[in-house]
Structure 1
Amino acid sequence: MSPHQKGAPQAGRLAATFSALRDKRVLAMLFLGFSAGMPILLIFSSLSLWLREAGVERGAVTFFSWAALGYSFKFIWAPLIDRIPVPVLTRLLGRRRGWMLVAQLAVICAIVLMALSDPSQGRDALVTMALAAVMLGFSSATQDIVIDAYRIEIAETRMQGVLSAAYIAGYRVGMVVAGAGALYLAARFGSTAEGYSYIAWQLTYLVMAGVMLIGVATTLVVSEPVGQARADNGCGAFDYLRLVLVFLVSAAAFVAAFFVAAASFTAVKQMLGDDALLNFLLETLHFGLAVASALAVGWLLVRFGAVDRSIARATWVEPALDFFSRYGLRTALLLLALVGLYRISDIVLGVIANVFYQDIGFTKPEIATAVKTFGVVVSIAGGFIGGLMATRFGVMRILMLGAVLSAVTNLLFIGLAHIGHSLPMLYVTVSADNLAGGLASAAFVAFLSSLTNVSFTAVQYALFSSLMTLLPKVLGGYSGSMVDGIGYPNFFLFTTLIGVPVLVLVWLAQRSLDVAESPRPPD
């Protein structure tokens, strides 16, 4: 074949790529990605700084990270969102756009409710803020479920790579706006670590709620996917209404069990003293008992005919059974352990990172520029590097490299803690941390995708992505208490050490999956 003949297909593929970038659906996914990326930092880091400036104790600040646990449980209600129509809106907009609009309006309402709550006004205001943050986490996770499904259904397979790239780019921009943008606005409106201003943070969050209208406008102008295939097995709306009721009752059982047992666990923690590790283990047991209560109530409801068993099985049981049948019990449990622990080093540290920066003397504009703007750019670069390296050298090798870098780069925070306010050291630390995080994330997403069966893509991927953050976020809720007990340097050493078992899990997973990947020979 002549060089000219070789070049022709390559030129054709390049032209097709540029043609895909001009597709209106790519622009739509950019804006929807922006809408999806906005809420998370309004619960996570930006809210942490607001609460800290309002005088809320560090330990209580990090507990608010649990409001984002909705992202870790979205697999439970993902099948409901996939099947059940929204009254009126589904008829007017379609199933996907109807749910998308409901989720986005709920996100806006939650942000407004947070803006109307001043956390410096005592327990009642903090409770209101916590409820609003939980509502924001739940509605934002729901929006993610719908947008993921929408992206898959609006285009053929060859377009999915371009649509995903646009979505991720929009998501990152949304995070910059909600992170750096919120910090800049709060400082501009007059709130500082030395002089807290509720009005400044209120205006900031109201602006963020207004920015979410970009997602609403996009939902109203885009087209509903056509030709959706749904295996409803002849079940009607009433059958799915019963399914929703079972879910709600089970969720209520979780909440009731958690709060009923709260007083007993609090008393035990007070008897044992202020030990962060013991408190974490007790709270994990507390949480586990609440989950067991919800599962038991759900099982009993199905058992006694509150919902059709075949529907319940198809919704929640079959996707899990498929995973275990394909890999076997031992390998499946190993893979789930890896999924649940892979991001533990960086997520646990990330909960308190902004508070740490402020505690050692950095201003909000300095944090916003270094972490929320520069850091995001470096993270995107790390993602591209990780994706290219995974393609060339194999996913498992880069998964191991990402795990090593994610743990080791946490040691730089120890140096920053000793040096204190040093912009050069801050940028070195942020660069290494975000480059490692971006690389590890790219390899991890490729790994999760490889575990998914195309027959259960949405539910299984939601399960994996939920499990990925569950334990790290629960542990992260105690990061403030751990820092109070052992100090920042020892805490950062701890976040490095908890990454070591992940290296063993990656190695065992590679052996179990019998992955024999060699680098491609040079061209």
Structure 2
Amino acid sequence: MTTVPEKDSLLAHLSADRRYLAMLGLGFSAGMPYLLVYPTQAAWLSDAQVPIQTIGLMSELTIAYKLKFIWAPFLDKYDAPVFSALLGRRRGWIVLSQIAVMLSLMGVAFGDPAHFLGYTVAFSLALGVAGATQDVTIDGWRITSVPVAKQSVMTAISEMGYRFGNLAAGAGALLLADRYGWPAAYFFMASLMLVGAVSAFIAPEPDSDFTVSHKHPGFVATVIAPIKEMITRLGPLALPIFLMIAGFRLPGYISSAMAMPLFKSLHYSDTEIATVTKLFGFWIALAATFFSAYIIRRIGLMPSLLVGTVAGSAAHLSLAWLATQSGGDFWGFALAVSIEGFAYAFAQVVLINYMSSLTATELAASQFALLTSLCAFPGSLLAGSSGFVIAHTGFTMFFVATSLIGIPVALLCWYVVRLHPVVTPDPERHGSAG
């Protein structure tokens, strides 16, 4: 395996080390299920004349992504049937979860939501659980397969693959459905999961899988152990770190819930919205992913975290500015959305790197799942009230307020950066093969 200097380009890493190439394919498969559980499927439900109230309730089928921390510890402690014996614990769970995703997608494809919605709900729920499980297992492999010093590159490549997976499950599925129908689109999405399965087979087994413990503690001990270990290791900084993670994406979750209503209120057409948010948005997010990897390697993780906190919140002011316009200015619309999208993607990659650095090798999957759930819950809960807030304040003040929420989070981040300038929770991962 060729060693590539950390400051070389992402493309150099991809060509020199199969771990990064495998991560690109695994990121692609991770980027598909979530959109196919709800956002993309909502278009199918609309075509099937499912009532709008029911379509809204169907969004709750993504709940598995917020509750994955409950079963994630068992993926760290138990082997996957058959596959772990062949591939190791982490890759075994990856392949098994991908098979479950493919079967669930085919199950949805056979459905007819216009006449038998219960069937679609059941397989969509299964798809959510399988997709969330795949996320947990891929994150566990990503974190343990390279030392902490290489996580910025690995995360950027993972996000690159994830964006392509989003594009396939979003715009790709919509185009296929328009031409061949929804069942064919979902069958094709199931076949694309083979990209991730092949990547799992070519991915090298992490060193930690060779020394993995086969002790099986009880249910309570399995769930509590990852939380207890992290709190003990972080000590007095545990509370401020957890609060910072919980608040880091809080402005973004609240803001994103009302972005589409803002665009529609300004009378932008569906074509204009799709062009800016999907086409432009894809390349903007991809550019932010490359930029974040560059910045982390140049100034370090903790300063980048502080920059991401400030930029991610301040960028909502671009939407506040857009809300003051009368609409019709396409390039002003594109500029505002691009600024917010770039900052959001940058902050997300930096946060993933930071949360990855906080995990211990043996508990990587469960602890990362716990941190991502902690990040998602507060914003998801508060986003539901965003429409009531706008009814009283209007769009402009709403987006200004979401930016201001970032001030206490930034101060908390500054406090953590001062007292926790170097993240070295697991010396074993710093010394692993690179």
TM-score (norm 2): 0.79
Equivalent residue number for residue 377 of structure 1: 283
The 1:412/1:113 distance shift into structure 2, 3 A limit, reads: farther
**Conservation of the 8 A alpha-carbon contact between 1:43 and 1:137:** yes
CA deviation after TM superposition for structure 1 residue 453, in Å: 4.2
**Conservation of the 8 A alpha-carbon contact between 2:4 and 2:12:** no
**Conservation of the 8 A alpha-carbon contact between 1:32 and 1:147:** yes
Work out which of the residue numbers 327, 337, 346 in structure 1 matches 2:243: 337
The 1:453/1:57 distance shift into structure 2, 3 A limit, reads: same
The 1:459/1:220 distance shift into structure 2, 3 A limit, reads: closer
Equivalent residue number for residue 206 of structure 1: 187
Separation (CA, whole Å) in 2 of partners of 1:391 and 1:208: 35
Written as runs of structure 1 = structure 2, the 5 A alignment for 1:66-105 is 66-91=60-85, 94-105=88-99
Work out which of the residue numbers 217, 228, 239 in structure 1 matches 2:210: 228
Work out which of the residue numbers 170, 173, 184 in structure 2 matches 1:179: 170
CA deviation after TM superposition for structure 1 residue 11, in Å: 9.0
Equivalent residue number for residue 139 of structure 1: 130
Amino acid aligned to 1:231: S
Separation (CA, whole Å) in 1 of partners of 2:98 and 2:162: 15
Equivalent residue number for residue 313 of structure 2: 407
**Conservation of the 8 A alpha-carbon contact between 1:66 and 1:477:** no
Equivalent residue number for residue 325 of structure 1: 232
Separation (CA, whole Å) in 1 of partners of 2:107 and 2:390: 30
CA deviation after TM superposition for structure 1 residue 34, in Å: 0.8
- What does the per-residue CA deviation read over 1:393-441, in whole Å, with 9 as the maximum and x for residues that have no partner? 4544443332333223223334444533542123112210111112212
Separation (CA, whole Å) in 2 of partners of 1:131 and 1:486: 39
Equivalent residue number for residue 438 of structure 1: 345
CA deviation after TM superposition for structure 1 residue 87, in Å: 3.2
Secondary structure of 1:419's partner? coil
Written as runs of structure 1 = structure 2, the 5 A alignment for 1:38-49 is 38-49=32-43
Separation (CA, whole Å) in 2 of partners of 1:494 and 1:60: 31
The 1:482/1:104 distance shift into structure 2, 3 A limit, reads: farther
Equivalent residue number for residue 431 of structure 2: none
Q: Tell which structure's C-alpha radius of gyration is larger.
A: 1
User: In the alignment, does 2:149 pair up with 1:149?
Assistant: no
Equivalent residue number for residue 355 of structure 2: 448
CA deviation after TM superposition for structure 1 residue 225, in Å: 5.6
Equivalent residue number for residue 382 of structure 2: 475
**Conservation of the 8 A alpha-carbon contact between 2:144 and 2:364:** no
CA deviation after TM superposition for structure 1 residue 10, in Å: 10
CA deviation after TM superposition for structure 1 residue 208, in Å: 2.2
Amino acid aligned to 1:174: G
The 1:367/1:213 distance shift into structure 2, 3 A limit, reads: farther
- What does the per-residue CA deviation read over 1:154-188, in whole Å, with 9 as the maximum and x for residues that have no partner? 567787665544333211211111122234344x4
Secondary structure of 1:177's partner? helix
Separation (CA, whole Å) in 2 of partners of 1:335 and 1:464: 10
Equivalent residue number for residue 21 of structure 2: 27
Secondary structure of 1:99's partner? helix
The 1:17/1:147 distance shift into structure 2, 3 A limit, reads: same
Equivalent residue number for residue 316 of structure 1: 223
CA deviation after TM superposition for structure 1 residue 139, in Å: 0.9
**Conservation of the 8 A alpha-carbon contact between 2:252 and 2:344:** yes
**Conservation of the 8 A alpha-carbon contact between 1:45 and 1:354:** no
Separation (CA, whole Å) in 1 of partners of 2:320 and 2:113: 31
Written as runs of structure 1 = structure 2, the 5 A alignment for 1:391-402 is 391-402=297-308
**Conservation of the 8 A alpha-carbon contact between 1:114 and 1:132:** yes
Work out which of the residue numbers 320, 325, 330 in structure 2 matches 1:423: 330
The 1:205/1:156 distance shift into structure 2, 3 A limit, reads: same
Amino acid aligned to 1:376: F
Separation (CA, whole Å) in 1 of partners of 2:56 and 2:31: 21
TM-score (norm 1): 0.67
User: In the alignment, does 2:301 pair up with 1:386?
Assistant: no
Query: 174-183 or 210-219, which moves further after superposition?
Result: 210-219
- What does the per-residue CA deviation read over 1:39-88, in whole Å, with 9 as the maximum and x for residues that have no partner? 12223533445556666676665554443332233232222122323334
The 1:149/1:482 distance shift into structure 2, 3 A limit, reads: same
- What does the per-residue CA deviation read over 1:79-100, in whole Å, with 9 as the maximum and x for residues that have no partner? 2122323334444555444322
CA deviation after TM superposition for structure 1 residue 489, in Å: 4.7
**Conservation of the 8 A alpha-carbon contact between 1:383 and 1:439:** yes
Count of aligned pairs between the two proteins: 418
Amino acid aligned to 2:235: G
Secondary structure of 1:136's partner? helix
Separation (CA, whole Å) in 1 of partners of 2:310 and 2:152: 28
Equivalent residue number for residue 365 of structure 2: 458
The 1:500/1:133 distance shift into structure 2, 3 A limit, reads: farther
User: In the alignment, does 2:105 pair up with 1:111?
Assistant: yes
The 1:328/1:58 distance shift into structure 2, 3 A limit, reads: farther
Query: 380-389 or 341-350, which moves further after superposition?
Result: 380-389
The 1:505/1:151 distance shift into structure 2, 3 A limit, reads: closer
Secondary structure of 1:328's partner? helix
RMSD: 3.9
Equivalent residue number for residue 263 of structure 1: none
Separation (CA, whole Å) in 2 of partners of 1:11 and 1:498: 39
- What does the per-residue CA deviation read over 1:210-253, in whole Å, with 9 as the maximum and x for residues that have no partner? 322332344456665676211234x5xxxx7xx5xx5xxxxxxx
- What does the per-residue CA deviation read over 1:5-48, in whole Å, with 9 as the maximum and x for residues that have no partner? xxxx9999969994762444433322221111111222353344
Q: Which consecutive unaligned segments of at least 5 residues does structure 2 have? A: 423-434
**Conservation of the 8 A alpha-carbon contact between 2:38 and 2:58:** yes
Separation (CA, whole Å) in 2 of partners of 1:515 and 1:165: 22
The 1:439/1:27 distance shift into structure 2, 3 A limit, reads: closer
**Conservation of the 8 A alpha-carbon contact between 1:108 and 1:209:** yes
Separation (CA, whole Å) in 2 of partners of 1:215 and 1:389: 28
**Conservation of the 8 A alpha-carbon contact between 1:63 and 1:478:** no
Separation (CA, whole Å) in 1 of partners of 2:13 and 2:408: 45
Amino acid aligned to 1:451: L
